[in-house]
Structure 1
Amino acid sequence: METTVRTPAPQALTSDSAADTLGVSAARARSAVLEERILDDPGQFRVLTGDRPTGRLHLGHYFGTLHNRVRLQDLGVEMFVIIADYQVLTDRDVADDLTRHVEELVLDYLAVGVDPARGTIFTHSAVPALNQLLLPFLSLVSVAELERNPTVKDEIVHSRQAAISGLMFTYPVHQAADILFCKANLVPVGRDQLPHLELTRTVARRFNDRYGAGTAVFPRPDALLSSAPLLLGTDGTKMSKSRGNAITLAADADETARLIKGAKTDSERRITYDPATRPEVSSLLLLAALCQGRTPEQVASDIGSAGAAALKRTVTESVNEYLAPLRARRAEYARDRGFLHQVLREGNERANAVADATLAEVRAAMNNRY
C-alpha cells in the first residue's frame, strides 16, 4: 500500500462566513450540494469515517453510513476508515475481547465492499501522532461545550461504567482528532452524530484562527447525511450494539427472522407509513424498502390490512435476501484471519505517515519544534 503523504490536503468546502451550526435541515441541504460536487470531482474529497470495536456492525450502521463509504469509494473519493479502539473506554471500564471485536469490524468492512487497496483501514491506538493532537485541541474547547453535547449526554445515560470517566467528556475532541489528523473534509454520518461534527468544525476554525497566521491548517469538514440516518431497534428505540436491539450484518437468516419476529409494532392491523405516529411500524417498513429499493409507502400498500405478522415476514424476507451476498463474502474472508491483520498493518503504516506529517505542521504552527 502506498504510504507517501498526498499534498496538498483537501480544502474546506464551506466559506469562513458560513454558519457553523450543522442543523439537520442545513446538513441535508448542504449534502445535496456536496453530492453534485462529488460526481463532478471526487478527487477533491477526503473522507474519515469509522466505528468503535464494541461488537459487530448492524443494519443501522449499514444504511446510516457503510453503504455510503462503499459508494464514495467507488466514485473515487479517498477513504480513511478508523477502528477507534481507544474510544471503547469512553463508556465502559474495560475493553473486553478487543482483538476479536477489531477483527469482526474488519470482516464487516470487507464484506460490505470497503476495499483496502483503495482506502486506509487503521486502528486508533496504532497512530501515536494522531493522539498527540488531542491536547492542543482540548485547549480550544470549553468544559461547558463538552458538557452540553447531546450525543455525550445520551452516551452517559447508557454508559456501562461504574462512574463516568473524564474520557467520556473528551470523546468529541477525540473524534475531532480522528477527522482532522488526515485533513478529511467530508464525513458520512447519521443525524445523531451532527453535534460531534459541529465540534470538529469549531476546533478546526479555532486552531486556524489562533495558530494559522492567515492560512487554514485544517479544513472544516462537512457532513454527508445518508438517506436513512436513523433506524429503530427491535425495541422501538435507537438501534445500538450496546442496547441489544440490533440486527447485525453477521446474523444468519434464522437469527434475523427471530429478531424481526420479536420487533415492537402496534395494535393497528392496517399497515401504513407514518413515522410521527407509528414509529416502530414505519421503521420496519423503511428497512424493507431500503432492502427492496422501493419506498416505504409502496411496501405498506403491498401489505395493506394483513397486519404486523405479514409486515414482519416481508421485512425478514427482504433483509435476508439483501444480506445473502454480504454474508457469503464475510464467511469467505473469515477463513483467513491472517489477511485481516495484513489489512491493518498496511493501513496503520499509511495512517502513521499522514499523521506524522500533520503533527509536524501543527508543531510548526504552534512554534514548538525543538
Structure 2
Amino acid sequence: MDRSVGAAVRRSAELERQLARDPGRFRVLTGDRPTGALHLGHYFGTLQNRVRLQDLGVEVFVLIADYQVLTDRDVAERLTEHVEGLLLDYLAIGVDPARSTVFNHSAVPALNQLLLPFLSLVSVAELGRNPTVKDEIAHSRQSAVSGLMYTYPVHQAADILFCKGDVVPVGQDQLPHLEITRTIARRFNERYGAVFPEPDALLSAAPLLLGTDATKMSKSRGNSIALGADADETARLIRRATTDADRYITYDPESRPGVSSLVLLAALCLDRDPYEVAEEIGAAGAAGLKRTVTEAVNARMAPIRARRAEYAQDMGYVREVLRAGNERANAVAEATLDEVREAMGTTR
C-alpha cells in the first residue's frame, strides 16, 4: 500500500468515527450513471452504504449522472427508462426522499456551470495522466474519444462541490478522481477565497463480487443479477454461473474465483462468514452451492423486489421524487454559484 492510499485509509477510519459521533455535520455526494440496471454488486458495494449513512443522519445527495453517460459512448440510449429504473431501485432499497436528495445532472444548470471556472484550475497534463481517465478511454464505447472524457474528473468535482460535499464514498480506484476534486477546491480557495471544503474519501470495505462468468461484474457484460430480476430469472442466472472441476466447495478467492464469488454472495445475503458457508456446503458440490446461493439471494431480495414492484405501480410518485430532488438540488447549486460569482468578482 503506497503512502497516499495508506493516508486515505487512516482518514477514512477516522471519518467513520466522526460520522458515528456527529452525523449531521456531514454532507455526502454519491450516485450512478444511468446506463442500465443496477445489480447485486452495486447493492452490496455502494447502495447499502448510502442507506446506512442516511439512517445515521448524514445529509445524502444521490446523483443520477445522465450527462456523464456521454463520456464513454456516442449516444445515451434508453435514458429515460434507465433513469426511472434507478429511481425505482433507490426507493426499493430504502433511500428516503424526505432525508436524501435524488437529482439528475441535466436538471441542475448551476452545477454544470461550475465546470467552467473549475477547468481553469487544472492543466491538460493533470487531466491526461489521471489513471481512471486512462482506463475509461481504454474501455470507451465511442467511435473517437471526446473532449468530455477528459473533463470527466472536473465534472465530478462540480458534482461534489456544488453541494459542498465533504464526504464521498468511493473505492480505492476512485481516489485519483477525488484528489482532483480536492485540488480544485484548494486552488479555488487559494485564488478567490474560502468557498469549498476539501472532501475526504470514505473508503468502501465491501468485498468484490464477480459476475456469473467469474469476471468483473458489469451491466454491459450480461454477467450480473439485476436488483429488479425476479426469483426465476435469478435462479436461471445462478445455474449458469461459472464454477470449476473441484467438487468440494471451499472459499479461496485467489485460486477459485468463480466458486468463491458465489460463496461470498450467499454469505453477504445471509450476513454470515463465507468460510463457514463454504464449509457447510462442502461435498454438496457446485449444485449444492448454486442452490444455496439462489435461496439466499431470493430471500434477501424478496422484500426489495416487492417494494420495487409497488413503486412501479405509481410512476407519477416516482417522477415526483426526482422533480422535488431536482428542485432542492437547484436551490443548493444556485446558492453555491452565487458564492462563486461573488468570490470571482463576476456578475449574475
The TM-score normalised by the length of structure 1 is 0.89
Q: Of the candidates 172, 175, 184, which is equivalent to residue 156 of structure 2?
A: 175
Contact 1:83 1:124 in 2 (8 A): yes
1:284 lines up with 2:262 in the alignment: yes
Query: 1:191·1:230 contact (CA, 8 Å) conserved in 2?
Result: no
1:204-253 per-residue CA deviation (whole Å, 9 max, x = no partner) reads 122222222xx3x1111122223315321122222111222211100111
Aligned counterpart, 1:121:
102
Question: Do the aligned partners of residues 157 and 168 (structure 1) sit closer, same or farther apart at CA in structure 2, a change above 3 Å counting?
Answer: same
Counterpart of 1:302 in structure 2 is: 280
State the secondary structure of the residue aligned to 1:47: strand
Give the corresponding residue for 1:7: none
Out of 312, 320, 324, the residue aligned to residue 302 of structure 2 is 324
Which of 209, 221, 224 is the matching residue for 1:243?
A: 221
Tell me, yes or no, if structure 1 residue 226 matches structure 2 residue 204: yes
Aligned-pair identity in percent equals: 76
TM-score, with length taken from structure 2? 0.95
Cα separation, 2, equivalents of 1:120 and 1:252: 28
Hey, what does 1:67 align to over in structure 2? 48
State the 1:21 CA deviation.
7.2
Match of 1:352 among 327, 330, 335: 330
Q: Tell me if the contact between 1:111 and 1:330 (Cα under 8 Å) persists in the aligned partners.
A: yes
Q: How does 1:114-193 map to 2 (within 5 A)?
A: 114-193=95-174
Structure 1 residues 99-150: Cα deviation after superposition (integer angstroms, max 9, x where no partner): 1111111000000000001111111100000001111111222222222323
| Structure 1 residue ranges without an equivalent (≥5) | 1-19
Structure 2 residue matching 1:306: 3-state secondary structure: helix
Q: CA deviation at 1:22?
A: 5.1
Please say if residues 185 and 221 of structure 1, whose CA atoms lie closer than 8 Å, have aligned partners that are also in contact.
yes
* CA distance in 2: counterparts of 1:172 and 1:199, whole angstroms: 7
Stretch deviating more after TM superposition (330-339 or 269-278): 269-278
Larger RCO: 1 or 2 (CA < 8 Å, sep 6+)? 1
Distance 1:21 1:206 in 2: 23
2:176 equivalent in structure 1: 195
CA contact (8 A) 1:48 1:80 kept: yes
Higher mean C-alpha deviation, range 309-318 or range 270-279: 270-279
Cα separation, 1, equivalents of 2:209 and 2:266? 11
Counterpart in the other structure of 1:56: 37
Residue 265 of structure 1 pairs with residue 246 of structure 2: no
User: Contact (CA 8 Å) 1:47, 1:187: kept in 2 or not?
Assistant: yes
Asked if residue 90 in structure 1 is aligned to residue 85 in structure 2, the reply is no
Q: 1:334 deviation in Å? A: 0.1
Q: CA RMSD in A?
A: 1.7
Structure 2 residue matching 1:120: 3-state secondary structure: strand
Residue identity opposite 1:47 in structure 2 = V
Q: Alignment partner of 1:224: what SS?
A: strand
Deviation string 1:78-103 (CA, Å, 9 cap, x unpaired) is: 01111111111111111111111111
Mapped contact 1:31–1:223 kept (Cα < 8 A)? yes
Count of equivalent residues: 347
Going by fraction, where is helix more abundant, 1 or 2?
A: 2
Distance 2:14 2:81 in 1: 39
Higher mean displacement: 112-121 or 263-272: 263-272
Q: Is this contact kept in 2: 1:63–1:226, CA < 8 A?
A: no
